[in-house]
Amino acid sequence: MLNCNCIFCKIIGGEIPSAKVYEDDLMLVFKDIEPKAKVHLLAVPKTHFALLSQADAEGKEMLWHILEKIPGVASQNGCGNGYRLVINQGEDAGQTVHHLHVHILGGETLGW
């Protein structure tokens, strides 16, 4: 993480400020700076990897931890009535930051 130059690693390291809504040893959740829904949060593992296919044992542990924590974080942040999770993978999906992240979208009725 320390050697990483990516923007999410810098947010995790505190070099770049973010609107944090949840943090623990394995993950960080903060508000997307360009929200695509009324509530748009990004949940990121604290270890750097870009794709699900690149997750090592530690990354897999973090991913599972993230999925376990999301329901509570989502309901505490205005998504008590439902939300959508999106994990973009690679170029065709428009993955712009190559540090795996889970989009949490909600706070309103979502279109497709």
Which residue ranges make up the site for Zn ion (CB under 5 A)? 4, 6, 8-9, 48, 99
For the chain, the maximum distance between any two Cα atoms, rounded to a whole number of angstroms, is 40
DSSP structural state of residue 13: T
Q: Are 36 and 105 in contact (CB under 8 A)?
A: yes
Q: Of the two residues 49 and 83, which places its CB atom closer to Zn ion in the complex? A: 49
103 is catalytic: no
Q: Of the two residues 44 and 79, which places its CB atom closer to Zn ion in the complex? A: 44
Tell me which of 40, 48, 99, 101 is the catalytic residue: 101
The minimum distance between CB 48 and Zn ion, in angstroms, equals 4
Q: Of the two residues 94 and 111, which places its CB atom closer to Zn ion in the complex? A: 94
Q: Burial level of 76, CB count in 10 A (0-12/13-18/19+)? A: exposed
- Residues identified as active-site: 101
